[in-house]
Amino acid sequence: MTDPRPAGAQRPLPKPTPETAHFWEGTRAGELRLQTCMGCEKTYFPPRFFCPKCGSRSVKMVKASGRATLYSYVIAQRPVPGFTPPYGICVVELEEGPRMMTNVVGCPQTPEALQLDMPLTVVFEPKDDTITLPLFQPAGEQVR
């Protein structure tokens, strides 16, 4: 299996904000946390203080299943910090409905391996004391 991330390379990391703090606390705990509107029941990502569907500020945090399917991707050929080409920049559709941009690890970064609608599961990669990244791997695979 190919992993597009070379050992020791530094990739840019997100900076938590008040809106995203619960998400990053969840990833550190090994949980993918989403928000659900208590008014219209829409589950959404990325985190924000209000529902993007109805505008309600009555939202709750929910633990996601960690299951997803590959919705879309592009295979990048240009080197950037923390990645060695080729590497997939992927959009996954979570079982709960929202989509998120991520990377798929544990498989070759080729069109033959990155099949649309392939089942995926979340894995967590600690980067520092604050950030643990949610990545996805083919369902049933053990890369960690």
Q: Is residue 91 part of a domain?
A: yes
> Distance of CA 123 to CAs 49, 91, 104, 110, Å?
26, 15, 10, 20
Q: Determine the Cα–Cα distance for residues 90 and 120; give it in Å rounded to an integer.
A: 12
pLDDT at 11: 86
pTM above 0.85, yes or no: yes
Is 106 part of any domain? Answer: yes
Q: What pLDDT, on a 0 to 100 scale, did the predictor assign at position 132?
A: 97
Q: For all residues of the chain together, what is the average pLDDT? A: 92
Helix/strand/coil for 109: coil
In this predicted model, what pLDDT tens digit does every residue of 31-48 receive, in sequence order?
999 999 999 999 999 999
2: in domain: no
Q: Domain range for residue 132? A: 21-138
Whether residue 64 is predicted with pLDDT greater than 90 in this model: the reply is: yes
Asked, for residue 1, whether it belongs to a domain, the answer is no
